[in-house]
Structure 1
Amino acid sequence: MSELSDIARQAMMRPQEAMLEVKNKKNSLHIGIPKETSFQENRIALTPLSVGLLVQNGHEVVIESGAGLAANFPDNHFSEQGAKITYDKKEVFKSDIIIKIAPPTDDEITMMKMGQVLFSAIQMSTTKVEYLQSLMKKNITALSFEYLRDEGNVLSVVRAMSEIVGATSVLIAAEYLSNVFEGKGLMLGGITGVPPTEIVILGAGTVGEYAARTALALGAEVKVFDSSLYKLRRLQNNIGSRVFTSVIQPAVLEKALWCCDVAIGAIRAEHGRSPCIVSEETVSKMKPNSVIIDVSIDQGGCFETSKITNHKVPTFRKHDVIHYCVPNIASRVSRTASYALTNIFTPIILDIGEMGGMMNLIWDRPGIRNAIYLYQGKLTNKDLSERFNIPMKDLDLLIVSQR
């Protein structure tokens, strides 16, 4: 008994560094996070504390210098948590798992090694067949953020980013209503004795719901339009208060837009372009210095007058209406967005290590399986297969054949 006590005492006295050394090495992962090169992409997939958690579990994390700066995470925050900081992008791409926000560029794909695992967005609207073919040649297993589902069958990354975009769109509208940005000089909301700001929201999905929540909290008068009664009813129930809702009736919608101070377009399409439901003629009759925030611009926009802008030049005027049409609104609040992303990705990476590899995780988790569009170089996504006319392999059969 005393011998056991001595052994226990020695184990307690062992320094943390030594304890890390004796972690189970067989499932140790080598994770690489390159610096984003996409235009105005400010997010990073893992925060320093998440990196620290991965290191404590015996994994190695290599981060390209400056990868977190746009989200206000300097290199030393990562290095203090045990990450290796490198100035050489090629060294990052030697890792077994690459995690980034935007899809890899042609140069980055060239640096990737055979059989790597890639976590990134796929951005279906801009994906080209050459991108897929390049990854397929390297037998890459690729997971798309847009298709990733959680235990409740919710698109976890899409949901998190939609919540951020919905709330932020109202705050952006508040800025452009003020005198600082040559707006009407209105405070978004209302005070005693002054009529509240009127906001029209097109779309009752997650973006529309969180835009409505934020606008109501600020004291604005909100009207929500959607073609789906189910979504409108769900929004009412989720918000917990009665909000003006209407199916999209042209006469009712036009009247609401002519009277409103802010219009937020948040109608999404399951496939292809979002429906353009507001004509240029309707926009021309809106009140001068009104604000349009077209969140659907990444799918083409739901206002006829919309055209893509960016964070440096975010607005333009047409018919004396201020248009804000930046497709990547979440990058405007990159630190918050990075925290939301790391909450989703860190448990997945830990599970890969615990389960002994990516194949076991895919087999065990339907939500992960849904997000795999390439498995060891073979296309497994139906949408991409139909779009590019590339034969698709059944992911379940591929995994069963290897077990």
Structure 2
Amino acid sequence: MIVGIPKETKPDEYRVALIPAGVEEMLRHGHTVLIEKGAGLGSGISDQEYKKAGAKLIDEPKEIYDQSQLVMKVKEPLPEEYPFLREDQILFTFFHFAASKELTDAVTKTKIVAIAYETIRDEHGQHPILTPMSEVAGRMSIQEGAKYLEKPMLGRGILLGGVPGVAPAEVVIIGGGIVGTNAAKVAAGLGARVTILDISVNRLRYLDDIMPKNVVTLMSNTQNIREKVTSADLLIGAVLVEGARAPRVVTKEMVQTMKSGAVIIDVAIDQGGCVETSKPTTHSNPIYKEYDVIHYCVTNIPGAVACTSTHALTNVTLPYALEIADKGYGRAARENQAILRGVNMVKGRLTNKAVASAFDMTYSTFE
């Protein structure tokens, strides 16, 4: 199979979908790999490294799409890429369809096979491709939150961990999954007072066992969220519903009760956001203020640490990409339930129930 790796076009996206070691592995399985020139530069990977690994360097993205049967990306295609997509082509990337009706409609019309990283789920209920990026995003949410709490960055002027005799910051994390857990680890390590809210008692019980004493767990309900949002210096939105739009659990009325200069990091923004006042931002223009609260809603947070993220992503995407390339998407999906769960669209048919429900569209089973 011919596998194409175009350069990412999303603003401030520096990751690339495959590292040279992945190219070598694809070639070992008998596949051809096309890499757009400059695709890896943002992750510190030169064209020469790809060439040495055996990839063919291509000048233009259209050539990649024209020649490739399987295209691997990091982020969803942008409008300028829609015309490149062709019927029956396999596109393997993060889509987050439920966050955008425009994207869903556009990709449906191309009649490609859309396999989404974020909905691949293994037999243990884990999301192996989403997990490392969630780990990065969770850790970075505290890093960014600490920065924007500084007064020159328009924040409250608070040191996350405080100092002897001065109280640390109050960090509230809504969602105790991979993002929330990693955010809590970093915040707790810096000495903040941390509260994690989640809807699962079992998850809270687990977190209570593994977290240090400066982390408190609370059941996620409207009353508890309302009370904790008011006291938060830094609020992390880490809510995930697989394949579906994130529920808006923090209302604008709640945001209005927050302290002047408090910071919201809505990590769920790539699934539509879990804070009502959130809207997508970029690394070039990452924040805005609403109700005197700083909102950081970058949709590709891990892209800022592209070298780390690219290697972590290839570690988990490559086994699935090899299986798809070796067997074709149909056989791969029938033989591997994880890949089957990743198939969101097939030739104009929507095969992900959560996305279909989000937009009241027709759902079709995979055949």
Bucket of the pairwise TM-score, normalised by the shorter protein: 0.7 to 0.9
Q: TM-score, normalised by structure 2?
A: 0.86
Tell me which amino acid in the other structure corresponds to 1:373. Answer: N
Partner of 1:98: 71
Partner of 1:235: 207
Which of 64, 67, 78 is the equivalent residue of 2:36? 64
Residue 126 (str. 1) matches residue 100 (str. 2): yes
CA distance in 2, matches of 1:258, 1:348: 43
Which of 148, 160, 170 is the equivalent residue of 1:198? 170
- Listed as ranges, the gaps of 5+ residues in structure 2 are none
The structural deviation recorded for 1:240 is 6.7
Change (3 A) 1:73 1:127: farther
Partner of 2:261: 289
Report the secondary structure of 1:369's partner residue.
helix
Tell me which amino acid in the other structure corresponds to 2:59. Answer: Y
Report the secondary structure of 1:244's partner residue.
strand
Which of 95, 109, 124 is the equivalent residue of 1:152? 124
Q: After the TM superposition, which parts of structure 1 deviate over 6 Å for at least 4 consecutive aligned residues?
A: none
Change (3 A) 1:304 1:378: closer
CA distance in 2, matches of 1:248, 1:54: 44
Q: How do 1:290-329 residues align onto structure 2 when only pairs under 5 Å count? A: 290-329=262-301
The structural deviation recorded for 1:225 is 2.2
Tell me which amino acid in the other structure corresponds to 2:278. Answer: S
The structural deviation recorded for 1:168 is 0.7
CA contact (8 A) 1:109 1:134 kept: no
Partner of 2:134: 162
Which of 321, 330, 333 is the equivalent residue of 1:359? 330
Partner of 2:352: 381
User: Which moves more between the two structures, 168-177 or 98-107?
Assistant: 98-107
Tell me which amino acid in the other structure corresponds to 1:218. Answer: L
Residue 117 (str. 1) matches residue 81 (str. 2): no
Q: How do 1:147-296 residues align onto structure 2 when only pairs under 5 Å count? A: 147-239=119-211, 243-248=215-220, 253-269=225-241, 271-280=244-253, 282-296=254-268
CA distance in 2, matches of 1:349, 1:301: 29
CA distance in 1, matches of 2:91, 2:80: 15
CA contact (8 A) 1:153 1:367 kept: no
Tell me which amino acid in the other structure corresponds to 2:351. Answer: T
The structural deviation recorded for 1:119 is 0.9
Tell me which amino acid in the other structure corresponds to 1:362. Answer: A
Aligned residue pair count: 362
The structural deviation recorded for 1:277 is 2.7
Report the secondary structure of 2:39's partner residue.
coil
Tell me which amino acid in the other structure corresponds to 2:135. Answer: E
Change (3 A) 1:101 1:241: same
Change (3 A) 1:376 1:254: closer
Partner of 2:343: 372
The structural deviation recorded for 1:344 is 1.5
Partner of 1:87: 59
Question: Which structure exhibits the higher relative contact order, with contacts defined as CA atoms closer than 8 Å and separated by 6 or more residues?
Answer: 2
CA contact (8 A) 2:145 2:234 kept: yes
- Listed as ranges, the gaps of 5+ residues in structure 1 are 1-28, 399-403
Tell me which amino acid in the other structure corresponds to 2:302. Answer: A
Report the secondary structure of 1:276's partner residue.
coil
User: Which moves more between the two structures, 255-264 or 38-47?
Assistant: 255-264
Change (3 A) 1:133 1:287: closer
Q: TM-score, normalised by structure 1?
A: 0.79
Aligned-residue sequence identity (percent) comes to 36
CA distance in 2, matches of 1:292, 1:223: 14
Partner of 1:38: 10
CA distance in 1, matches of 2:313, 2:260: 38
CA contact (8 A) 2:356 2:363 kept: yes
The structural deviation recorded for 1:363 is 2.4
The structural deviation recorded for 1:371 is 1.1
Partner of 2:319: 347
Larger Rg: 1
Report the secondary structure of 1:115's partner residue.
coil
CA distance in 2, matches of 1:370, 1:98: 18
Tell me which amino acid in the other structure corresponds to 1:53. Answer: E
Change (3 A) 1:67 1:256: same
